[in-house]
Amino acid sequence: MEVNAVLTGSFEKWLKTLGYAQSTVYLSVKCVNDFFFYLKSSEISSLEAVQPEVISGYHKHLQTRANKRLGGSLSTNYITGNINALKRFSRYLQETGKPFFEVNIKTRTDKETTKIILTPQEIKALYKACDNTVLGIRDRAILSVYYGCGLRRSEGRALNASDILLKEKLVHVRQGKGYRERYVPMAEAVREDLENYIYVARERILSFKSTSAEALFLSMKVNRLGGNALIGRVHKLAVNARLEKEIGLHTLRHSIATHLLQSGMTLEEVGRFLGHSSLESTQIYTHIAHE
C-alpha cells in the first residue's frame, strides 16, 4: 500500500504538470486507488501481473458493483470515468519508464455523455439577445436562474418571488430532486438581473391584473410560467442570438457546471452548487470540461 501511495502521488503530480483540471486529477487518483484495492482483493501484488484479463475482470466488476451511496448499479458515466482514468494511468506509467499495462477496453458512451454545452461566448450572445422590454427583462432573469444558478427545469419553474433572497445573494430551492432543499449562491450580476425583474418587469406584469401572485416567473396573464413556456423563451433567444446548437433549460445547467470546473472550482463544490447527492452525477462534467 505504501508503494501504491507513492505511485499515485507521482501520478497526481504528472496530471497536474500536464494541465489537467483539478477535478479530473482528483477523480483519476481516486479511480486508480479503487483499482489498487481491487488488485489487492484479487491477490495481485505487482503491476507486471496486470494482464488484459485482469483489466477485463475489473471492468466486469464495475458493471456488477453496487452503488454504495445510492443503491443499484454504477452509472455508465462512472464506469467510463474509471476506465478512462486507468488509461491515463497506463500512459503515465509508460512515459515515466515504469512497468505498465495496456487498457484496451472501449467504453460505450450513453446519451448522458453527449451533453450540449454552450461556450462562454454563446452564453454572452444569449444575454445580448435580451432587450429592455418586460419580456426581455424576464428573459434575462430566466437565464440568470438556469445558467447563473444552474437550476433544474422543475426547480426554476417552482420558484416563488420570496425564494429570491437578494440581500443574502441566495436562491432558496425548496423542492430539489429527491425533495432536498438547498441554498444556491448568486453572483452580483445575477442578483442585479433578478432584482431588476422582480421590482420592474414583474411589478409591471402584476399591474395587468389586480391580484397577488407567489410565482417568480409570471406569464402576461399573471399565472406561473410553465416549463414549455420557459423553454420556448430560451429557444427564441437562441434564434435571435443565431446559435446553431439545439438548446434547452438543461443546456444552461450543463454549461454553467462545465464553466465552473474550467474556472478551477472543485468537483465537490460544483456538486453542491448543482444539488447532486453523489459525485457520480457530477463526474461527467470533468470529461467535458477537459475536452
**Catalytic amino acids?**
152, 177, 250, 253, 276, 285
248, 285, 275, 271: which is closest to 126 by C-alpha? 248
Cα–Cα distances in angstroms (integers) from residue 119 to residues 24, 143, 149, 245, 259, in the given order: 20, 14, 17, 11, 8
Residue 138: what are its φ and ψ, rounded to 5°?
-65, -40
Reading the block at residue 45, the C-alpha cell is 501484488
Rounded CA-CA distance 95/102 in Å is 13
